[in-house]
Amino acid sequence: MKKIVKRSLIFVLLILSLINSQPIKAQGSLPGLNDQVNKLGQVLFLIHQYYLDTINTGLAVDEMVRTLVDQLDPHSAYIPAEDVRGMNEPLEGNFEGIGIEFAIIHDSLVVITPIAGAPSENVGIRADDRIVAVDGVEISSSELTNQRVFSLLRGPKGTRVSLTVVRRGEDNPLYFEVIRDKIPIHSVDAAYMAAPGVMYIKLNKFALTTQDEFIEAFRDLKEMPGGLILDLQGNGGGYLGAALFLAEQFLGKGELILYTEGRKIKRQEVTASGMGFFTNTPVVVIMDERSASASEIVAGAIQDWDRGVIVGRRSFGKGLVQQPFPLNDGSELRLTVARYHTPSGRLIQSPYVMGEKELYYREFLERYERGESFSKDSVLIPDSLAYRTLRKNRIVYGGGGIMPDVFVPADTTYYSAFYVQLARRGIITEFINDYLDSERERLLGMYSDFESFNKRMIPENVPFNQLIDLAATFGIVPREEELEISGKHIRLQIKALIAARLYGTGSFYRVINPVLPEYKKALEVMNGLL
């Protein structure tokens, strides 16, 4: 035991020695590193051996490592052992559990929908089922949280969990035994024909499954689309390999996708194989201020080679490469080891000061405050950061995100104090959960598929007044002018959310996209390319 503690302490010493040392230089190792490690090792060993009280070494080590990592760039991170799995699951494209989408309604766990092909669906669990007990222990209470649901229902593949279910129309509870399995987490939110010959794909992240999902989106098409709209709004990145796969779908053989360089990493270039499906297909990429990292790699390559048009607003600006280093206790150090550059040589990373993470994110928020989301002229990038595209010699900019070719201001015309309160407090989502808890079967009986729902459920017929009544129970009562500003959008949002719950996530975008200015502009630009 003492040997284990000592090894842990020595590791921390190595970390802490960096804090007290001189800044990292471009060449060579830290001066006196071994001396500092030994000195700090002696201090911690003496505390461990002779201090009058015991200390929680694990917590102390975690805090020390966090302190060090906070002195680095904004994207290096330390992840404690208990959080590593949860951090990796979204990008690995799966987790292990029973496979349900759920909501907590009136202190009860309600199944929104079982995931297709998941263990829950295979044993017969349905939408609207209420799971009232897990392994014989009742769970319905005011203390039920999403995190508690995860802890109860997720678990290693092959393990069993017993569920007690109350189902509408059944007099007695139903009992299910579910064997947990791997559950997919999708990165493609929507894929549909936005216009004749034009495919729209919404990608929420770059995961291990992204390549397969992207290919699957085209599997049932009778012919390949003549144009592609790639929506990367809100896509914060993910695995580099998935981004490289997507980028090379649009580039010719040997064309550079990106290159990376770091203090310990020599320049490494990645080029396209020429085997992409859309090397000659017009493409429009939609981005916003939340698009980052892998999204910017894809957009930067498309823009630099003049292969498509970027529509929207300046992206976040994350151009640093993190390498994961597993540690001996199961924790993980994600350390920035290189910068990536677009084919023209642009560095996309926004400026930062080491150890000033709060300042870094505050400066990002200041973009909005100075009007950058609403006016292209408010974007402040010096001419010294201008580069030229590789085919048409157009000017593009580095030094802080991808600047769109066609700027689309953020649409806040439907914002009112009433709408903002509904959104911030999650009241619309709570209302939809409650509404579908009682109306799902009736709606599915009326509308057998999305097409009939979308055609016949006009926004004027959605349960808008019921939402207003629910908001009043929270003390939120709209003024008439607020309903004039926000009513139309709220109605459409209600319809889109109902569609998503009944027919899948992609249905949400099929309802809401046609009124969004970024989407409309992308279609307009695509029409000009075809």
Topology of domain 188-323+335-410, CATH = 2-enoyl-CoA Hydratase; Chain A, domain 1 (3.90.226)
The one catalytic residue in 73, 304, 405, 437 is: 304
318 as an active site residue: the answer is yes
- Specify whether the CB–CB gap between 130 and 101 falls below 8 A: no
Residue 411 pLDDT level (bands cut at 50, 70, 90):
very high
d(Cα 289, Cα 316) in Å, to the nearest integer?
5
The one catalytic residue in 318, 357, 495, 521 is: 318
392 as an active site residue: the answer is no
Distances (CA, A) of 528 to 226, 379, 409, 524: 13, 26, 20, 7
d(Cα 140, Cα 152) in Å, to the nearest integer?
13
Per-residue pLDDT tens digits for 312-364: 999 999 999 888 899 888 889 999 999 999 999 999 998 889 988 888 888 88
Distances (CA, A) of 152 to 106, 109, 134, 145, 146: 19, 11, 7, 11, 10
Q: Work out the number of other CB atoms within 10 angstroms of the CB of residue 19.
A: 15
The one catalytic residue in 76, 120, 187, 293 is: 293
Q: Work out the number of other CB atoms within 10 angstroms of the CB of residue 206.
A: 28
List of residues 6+ apart from 94 with CB closer than 8 A: 182, 183, 184, 185, 209
Q: Quick one: tokens of 362?
A: 């505050």
The CATH number, out of the four listed (2.40.30.20, 3.60.110.10, 3.30.70.3270, 2.30.42.10), of the domain defined by the range 94-184: 2.30.42.10
Residue 99 above 90 pLDDT?
no
The mean per-residue pLDDT over the stretch 466-472 comes to: 94
- Using CB atoms within 10 Å of the CB of residue 105, give its burial: 0 to 12 exposed, 13 to 18 middle, 19+ buried: middle
Distances (CA, A) of 16 to 36, 39, 61, 76, 214: 9, 11, 10, 16, 44
Q: What is the pTM of this model?
A: 0.83
Q: Quick one: tokens of 304?
A: 């630099």
- Give the start-to-end residue ranges of the domains of the chain: 2-71, 94-184, 188-323+335-410, 417-520
- Specify whether the CB–CB gap between 85 and 151 falls below 8 A: no
d(Cα 264, Cα 320) in Å, to the nearest integer?
14
Q: What is the mean pLDDT of the chain?
A: 87
Per-residue pLDDT tens digits for 8-45: 343 343 333 333 333 334 344 556 778 877 887 788 78
304 as an active site residue: the answer is yes
